[in-house]
């Protein structure tokens, strides 16, 4: 029997993807730092039984239509808003992701971003390197305290709970908002459930970790920022489009909120002329939430396991579209 054809949309380490080469014929886009060209993705999808994709790849109806043999799309991310999941299901294609392995790494980064924004770490480091430090001064680069403040987590999933654990270490009060209450997390973490407006009004740090869906697109709009404390710091480590960036810019410029730490943007990579990048009270990062070497390797390994399971006719460990089980492509 012919080996299945697997296309990987970025260059990944050969030793990590070795389990795929054992079961299939593998082709990789040859660049680590350049996304796959659209025409290459479409041409490869035509031949592929499996695609190992990145969050920067748009996997839409056109890809599904091209992929007449396609059985699985394994996204190397926990988020899957780059994939049209209902269309994949319609075509009998399994969609898989990489939950769990990145929870602590992403929570570390989210908390680091919160600390960096509150304590003005990036500004301070730039100030030092620019040779501007002339004397110790009482209010030189004075930020705001994190310990004993109130953190409001929007999206208390596994990453949100890992952030809450870190907040507990800083003796913070923890508020959260979710579509559904999580009473176990309330018991374990002492987190208090709030409506969205209540959370915005009461939090010193508003942390966005909710996935991007039709419901959450622009959840953080003008009205949301106006409800926050003027001293509040907004942190986003989920997806950029959950935020109306124009509204955020206005809120920061008009002093409606005090600062923002952003790991994600609506359009990535961000154009250097993006207005938010011009603000001193914004700490901006290039979507590095899960970017530790250890975790990225685990995400690659998990993506490989997802593909192997589907190609062997098994149920993958991280299946997004469970309806696929009834609509599998043969």
User: What is the Cα–Cα distance from 283 to 269, expressed in whole angstroms?
Assistant: 15
The three-state secondary structure class of 52 is strand
Q: Where in 91-120 is the site for ligand DGY (CB under 6 A)?
A: 102
Task: Choose between 192 and 291: whose C-beta lies nearer to ligand DGY.
Answer: 291
Least distance from C-beta 219 to ligand DGY, angstroms? 17
Q: Where in 283-322 is the site for ligand DGY (CB under 6 A)?
A: 287, 289-290
Task: Choose between 5 and 111: whose C-beta lies nearer to ligand DGY.
Answer: 111
Task: Give me the half-sphere count of Cα atoms (radius 13 Å) on the Cβ side of residue 254.
Answer: 12
Task: Choose between 10 and 287: whose C-beta lies nearer to ligand DGY.
Answer: 287
Size of the site for ligand DGY (CB under 6 A): 8
User: What is the Cα–Cα distance from 6 to 300, expressed in whole angstroms?
Assistant: 14
* Cβ contacts of 281 within 8 Å, gap of 6 or more: 117, 252, 258, 259, 260
The number of beta carbons lying within 10 Å of the beta carbon of residue 211 is 15
Least distance from C-beta 141 to ligand DGY, angstroms? 29
Least distance from C-beta 291 to ligand DGY, angstroms? 6
Binding mask 241-280 for ligand DGY (x = CB under 6 A): ----------------------------------------
> Out of 287, 296, 302, 305, which one is annotated catalytic?
287
Among 17, 41, 59, 77, binds ligand DGY (CB under 6 A): 77
Least distance from C-beta 195 to ligand DGY, angstroms? 26
What is the side-by-side order of every strand in the sheet holding 150-154? Answer: 192-193, 173-177, 150-154, 205-208, 233-236, 259-262, 282-284
Nearest by Cα to 290 from 146, 85, 76: 76
Q: Does 157 bind ligand DGY (CB under 6 A)?
A: no
- State yes or no: is 296 an active-site residue: no
Where would I find the H helices in 60-152?
61-66, 85-90, 103-118, 121-129
> Out of 120, 166, 177, 239, which one is annotated catalytic?
239
- State yes or no: is 31 an active-site residue: no
Whether 239 and 211 have beta carbons less than 8 Å apart is answered as yes
Least distance from C-beta 10 to ligand DGY, angstroms? 13
* 307 preceded by a cis bond (ω within 30 of 0): no
Q: Does 79 bind ligand DGY (CB under 6 A)?
A: yes
Task: Choose between 172 and 264: whose C-beta lies nearer to ligand DGY.
Answer: 264
Whether 319 and 96 have beta carbons less than 8 Å apart is answered as yes
Q: Where in 5-24 is the site for ligand DGY (CB under 6 A)?
A: none
Among 78, 163, 235, 270, binds ligand DGY (CB under 6 A): 78
User: What is the Cα–Cα distance from 32 to 214, expressed in whole angstroms?
Assistant: 31
Least distance from C-beta 313 to ligand DGY, angstroms? 27
User: What is the Cα–Cα distance from 270 to 275, expressed in whole angstroms?
Assistant: 10
Q: Does 55 bind ligand DGY (CB under 6 A)?
A: yes
Task: Choose between 261 and 289: whose C-beta lies nearer to ligand DGY.
Answer: 289
The number of beta carbons lying within 10 Å of the beta carbon of residue 33 is 6
Q: Does 160 bind ligand DGY (CB under 6 A)?
A: no
Task: Choose between 36 and 228: whose C-beta lies nearer to ligand DGY.
Answer: 36
User: Which residues are 27's β-sheet partners?
Assistant: 7
User: What is the Cα–Cα distance from 105 to 95, expressed in whole angstroms?
Assistant: 23
Active site members? 239, 268, 287
Name the residues that contact ligand DGY, by CB under 6 A: 55, 77-79, 102, 287, 289-290
């Amino acid at each position: 029997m012919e080996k299945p054809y697997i296309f990987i949309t970025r260059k990944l380490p050969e030793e990590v993807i070795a389990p795929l080469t054992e079961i299939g014929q593998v082709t990789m886009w040859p660049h680590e730092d350049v996304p796959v060209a659209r025409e290459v993705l479409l041409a490869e999808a035509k031949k592929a039984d499996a695609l190992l994709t990145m969050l920067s790849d748009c996997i839409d109806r056109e890809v599904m239509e091209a992929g007449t043999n396609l059985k699985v799309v394994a996204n190397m991310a926990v988020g899957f808003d780059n994939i049209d999941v209902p269309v994949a299901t319609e075509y009998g294609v399994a969609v898989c992701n990489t939950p769990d392995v990145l929870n602590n790494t992403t929570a570390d980064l989210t908390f680091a971003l919160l600390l960096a924004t509150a304590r003005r770490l990036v500004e301070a480091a730039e100030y030092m390197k620019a040779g501007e430090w002339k004397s110790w001064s009482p209010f030189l680069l004075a930020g705001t305290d994190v310990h004993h403040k109130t953190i409001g987590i929007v999206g208390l999933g596994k990453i949100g709970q890992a952030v809450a654990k870190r907040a507990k270490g800083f003796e913070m009060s923890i508020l959260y908002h979710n579509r559904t209450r999580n009473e176990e997390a309330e018991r374990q973490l002492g987190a208090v459930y709030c409506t969205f407006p209540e959370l915005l009004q009461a939090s010193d740090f508003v942390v966005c970790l909710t996935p991007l869906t039709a419901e959450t697109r622009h959840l953080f709009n003008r009205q949301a920022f106006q409800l926050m404390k003027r001293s509040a710091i907004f942190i986003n480590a989920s997806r950029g489009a959950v935020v109306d960036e124009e509204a955020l810019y206005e809120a920061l410029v008009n002093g409606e909120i005090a600062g923002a730490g952003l790991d994600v943007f609506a359009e990535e990579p961000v154009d250097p002329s993006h207005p938010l990048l011009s603000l001193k009270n914004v700490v901006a990062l290039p979507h590095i939430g899960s970017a530790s070497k250890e975790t990225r390797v685990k995400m690659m390994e998990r993506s490989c396991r997802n593909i192997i399971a589907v190609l062997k006719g098994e149920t993958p460990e991280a299946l997004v579209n469970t309806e696929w089980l009834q609509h599998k492509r043969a």
